[in-house]
């Protein structure tokens, strides 16, 4: 039987192996006759712990799949799609985020949407803008291959008049006294007031709190009713980004959306949003 481990399991498994070797070595040195029994007992304990962990993760994965299915049902029930959407797997946006973005566009009817990180979300936002009868989306992507792929999808879905993708390689930019690897020359591409800012890039691997510059760089372009969406709040880095944003820009209020990877929605003007239409912030 082949055991499949997720990336986050690697550290735990490595630690168990190290402890197993150390315990066995100490047992062999202190009580040579008992070392075999200690090794067997510890091995059994490790196996049981691993099986319990795999069972727990399988339950969590099943719950996540159920949520994804519900989000997809909502997405397709509210969307008017002319062709199948790209797969929402791997590095693509999860169905929960895409459904959230669709609902925000349909409710807020933004005129100018700016997205950091292109993909299936670009397509869905484009369709939602077409449904409300106004608006456009500009997506910035540091990866030229991925940017070209999204552009082909836009053409396939006939959304060229609504959605565009700009390839913006990562460069060193300064925000205050700090330097970041971020989308180079982004301000020259975006010059109109921004009603919705979707922050789903750059990737986590590009640097610590890689997505932080989005709000400070575009702050003066965000309209009074602007909404900012940050994805991947399951990670500590994104949680710290929201904390820094809220400390630096107290005019915003944050709402946490419980998708499998979690998202944060920041609003400047919540008076225009009915209480029933927003998800209360969670500690």
Does 216 fall in a domain? Answer: yes
Residues 129, 67: one domain? no
For 128-143, what is the mean pLDDT?
Answer: 96
DSSP label of 212: T
CA 256, CA 279: separation in Å to the nearest integer?
7
3-state secondary structure at position 176: coil
The domain containing residue 233 runs over which residues?
86-277
Neighbours of 19 (CB within 10 A): 12
Q: Check whether residue 160 and residue 200 sit in a common domain.
A: yes
- To 10 degrees, what angle do helices 144-156 and 120-132 make? 40
State the Cα torsion 75-79-84-89 to the nearest 10°.
-30
Spatial separation of the C-alpha atoms in residues 79 and 89, rounded to whole Å: 19
* Residue 77 domain-assigned (yes or no): no
pLDDT at 102 over 70: yes
Classify residue 178: in a domain, yes or no: yes
| pLDDT given for residue 1 in this prediction | 35
For residue 202, name the pLDDT band (cuts at 50, 70, 90): very high
Phi-psi region of 109 (alpha: psi -120 to 50; beta: other; left: phi over 0): left
Q: State whether 93 and 63 are in the same domain.
A: no
Asked whether the bond before 99 is cis by omega within 30 degrees of 0, the reply is no
Lowest mean pLDDT among 88-97, 201-210, 263-272: 88-97
Query: Does 132 share its domain with 242?
Result: yes
DSSP class of residue 31 equals -
Q: Decide: helix, strand or coil at residue 189.
A: helix
- In this prediction, residue 11 has a pLDDT band, given cuts at 50, 70 and 90, of low
Claim to verify: residue 19 and residue 157 sit in the same structural domain? no
Please check whether residues 118 and 186 belong to one and the same domain. Answer: yes
Whether residue 233 sits in one domain with residue 161 = yes
Mean pLDDT of 44-65: 68
Q: Same structural domain for residues 12 and 147?
A: no
In a domain, 254, yes or no: yes
pLDDT at 38: 64
The reply to whether 126 and 247 lie within a common domain is: yes
Mark 132-142 as b/e (b = at least 16 C-beta within 10 Å): eeebbbbbbbb
Radius of gyration of the chain (CA): 23
Q: Are 174 and 216 in contact (CB under 8 A)?
A: no
Which of 26, 45, 71 is at the close of a domain?
71
Mean pLDDT of the chain: 83
Same-domain pairing of 46 and 93: no
**Shared-domain flag, residues 62 and 182:** no
- Are 55 and 79 in contact, with CB atoms under 8 Å apart? no
Residue 18, judged by CB atoms within 10 A of its CB (0-12, 13-18, 19+), counts as exposed
Which of 145-149, 215-219, 268-272 has the least mean pLDDT? 268-272
Average pLDDT over residues 149-170: 96
Whether 282 maps to a domain, the answer reads: no
User: In this structure, what CATH number is given to the domain that contains residue 236?
Assistant: 3.40.50.150
The answer to whether residue 11 is domain-embedded is yes
- pLDDT at residue 280, as a whole number: 34
Could you read off the pLDDT of 24-33 as tens digits, one per residue? 777 667 766 6
Name the 3-class secondary structure at 9. Answer: helix
* DSSP H or E stretch at residue 149: helix 144-156
| Count of domains forming the chain | 2
Is 173 within the bounds of a domain? Answer: yes
Whether residue 230 sits in one domain with residue 114:
yes
Any domain includes 259: yes
Q: What is residue 137's three-state secondary structure?
A: strand
Tell me the mean pLDDT in the region 253-278.
77
Q: Are 258 and 279 in contact (CB under 8 A)?
A: yes
> Taking the CB of residue 163, how many other CB atoms lie within 10 A of it?
27
Mean pLDDT on 91-107: 89
């Amino acid at each position: 039987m082949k055991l499949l481990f997720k990336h986050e399991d690697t550290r735990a498994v490595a630690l168990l192996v190290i402890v197993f070797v150390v315990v066995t070595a100490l047992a062999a040195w202190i009580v040579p006759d008992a070392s075999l029994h200690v090794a067997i007992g510890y091995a059994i304990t490790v196996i049981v712990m691993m099986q319990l962990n795999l069972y727990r993760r399988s339950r969590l994965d099943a719950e996540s799949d159920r949520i994804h299915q519900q989000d997809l049902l909502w997405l397709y029930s509210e969307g008017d799609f002319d062709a199948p959407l790209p797969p929402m797997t791997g590095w693509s946006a999860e169905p929960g985020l895409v459904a959230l973005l669709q609902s925000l566009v349909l409710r807020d009817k933004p005129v100018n949407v700016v997205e950091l990180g292109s993909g299936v979300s670009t397509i869905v936002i484009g369709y939602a803008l077409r449904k409300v009868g106004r608006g456009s989306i500009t997506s910035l992507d540091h990866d030229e291959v991925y940017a070209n792929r999204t552009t082909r999808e836009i053409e396939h879905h006939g959304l060229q008049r609504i959605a565009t993708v700009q390839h913006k390689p990562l460069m060193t930019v300064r925000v205050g006294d700090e330097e970041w690897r971020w989308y180079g020359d982004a301000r020259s591409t975006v010059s109109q007031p921004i009603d919705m800012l979707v922050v789903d890039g750059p990737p986590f691997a590009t640097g610590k709190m890689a997505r932080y510059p989005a709000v400070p760089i575009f702050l003066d372009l965000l309209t009074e009713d602007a909404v900012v969406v940050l994805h991947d709040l399951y990670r500590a880095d994104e949680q710290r980004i929201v904390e820094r944003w809220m400390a630096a820009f107290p005019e915003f209020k944050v709402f946490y959306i419980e998708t499998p990877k979690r998202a944060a929605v920041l609003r400047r003007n919540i008076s225009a949003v009915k209480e029933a239409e927003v998800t209360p912030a969670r500690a």
